[in-house]
Amino acid sequence: MFVANMRVSPLITCLAALAVLAPARPPDVGDVAPELTNESWLNTTGHRSLHLADLRGRVVLLNFWVFTCGNCTRTLPSLIDFDERYRDRGLTIIGIHTPEFPPYSGEHDRANVQRALRTYGIHFPVAQDNDRRTWDAYGIRFWPSFVLIDRRGRIRYATAGEFHQRDATYEDWRRRIERLLDEQAPTVRVRAEPVAGGIRLTLEPAAGARINARAKPALELADGTVLRFDASHLTPDSAYFAEAPTALAPRGANLKHGTLRASICPAGERYCRELVLPVDL
């Protein structure tokens, strides 16, 4: 269970377990992070919604909080510090503002949340989770809670509880963030879309990266099926794909917990590297 990995701080006074209907199996450390489906956002360009799929290649820290919780607000200076330190290095902090009390308490009101962001100097994106959709998707039980997601979109750390700048828990989080920032960003991703006869998988390289066409990329599925990627157009020396290679998975194929094997030449490098990447579509 996701919550079994949580270490709850003794400082917590406003943490509360909720008697709400939870998902059958909340995500665990190592799982692909559930997508964000919130519709109301603050501190984003045009108040547009953010999606984890669009943040692949960045480290993401989710902060589940509510502005009436003292444990949450006392932790905000640490998060603001992390945002200022690491945003340009590839960290995105997202506040998931999940109300604790009924709507008449004012926690659901957008203007009140906006006022809190100004009061505390929060400049990172914040989603209004008024229906607890994201809270439930992650199996969260306490305010504040934190989920750290790596560049591949997988949950790497999760915990709950108040912490302060320069205390031991702050230092733990600083080390965790830096560790994930130091990990190499993925050089390819697999995109899936339904087509006639099955599911088309497209291997999309990162900007400037090249996919070795002489060592055909392959996706090994959990049931032993191997899907090989190919494309019609190659570079003049036939060494690399000149377009994103594709593979066709049969309809109904289980695309969870697969393993991608490919030879990739990252941007600015002359030699290719053998890439083994977990894929969970």
Same domain, 130 and 204: no
CATH of the domain at 224: 2.60.40
Helix, strand and coil percent figures for the chain, each rounded to 5: 25, 30, 45
- Looking at residue 8, what is its pLDDT? 43
Same domain, 71 and 156: yes
Same domain, 201 and 149: no
Which of 182, 214, 246 is the last residue before a domain boundary? 182
Which of 182, 209, 224 is the last residue before a domain boundary? 182
- Which 8-state DSSP code applies to residue 49? P
Average pLDDT over residues 8-29: 53
pLDDT > 60? residue 271 = yes
- Looking at residue 106, what is its pLDDT? 97
Residue 53 belongs to domain spanning? 2-182
Same domain, 80 and 213: no
Higher pLDDT, 141 or 272: 141
pLDDT > 90? residue 201 = yes
- The reported pTM is 0.66
Same domain, 27 and 162: yes
Percent of the chain past pLDDT 70, that is, above it, reads 90
Overall number of domains in the chain: 2
Same domain, 157 and 235: no
What CA–CA distances, in Å, run from 119 to 73, 112, 163, 168, 255? 10, 10, 19, 26, 45
Higher pLDDT, 57 or 136: 136
| pLDDT tens-digit series, residues 71-110 | 999 999 999 999 999 999 889 999 999 999 999 999 999 9
Which of 182, 208, 227 is the last residue before a domain boundary? 182
CATH of the domain at 114: 3.40.30.10
Higher pLDDT, 3 or 212: 212
Same domain, 87 and 193: no
Same domain, 178 and 196: no
Same domain, 175 and 196: no
Same domain, 163 and 206: no
Q: Which residues contact 86 (CB under 8 A, 6 or more apart)?
A: 59, 177, 178, 181
Same domain, 49 and 125: yes
Same domain, 51 and 18: yes
- Looking at residue 279, what is its pLDDT? 82
| pLDDT tens-digit series, residues 239-253 | 999 999 999 999 889
Structure tokens at 267: 């941007």
Task: Look at strands 218-220 and 226-228 and give their pairing.
Answer: antiparallel
Q: Which residues contact 166 (CB under 8 A, 6 or more apart)?
A: none
167: pLDDT confidence band, cut at 50, 70 and 90? very high
Q: Which residues contact 24 (CB under 8 A, 6 or more apart)?
A: none
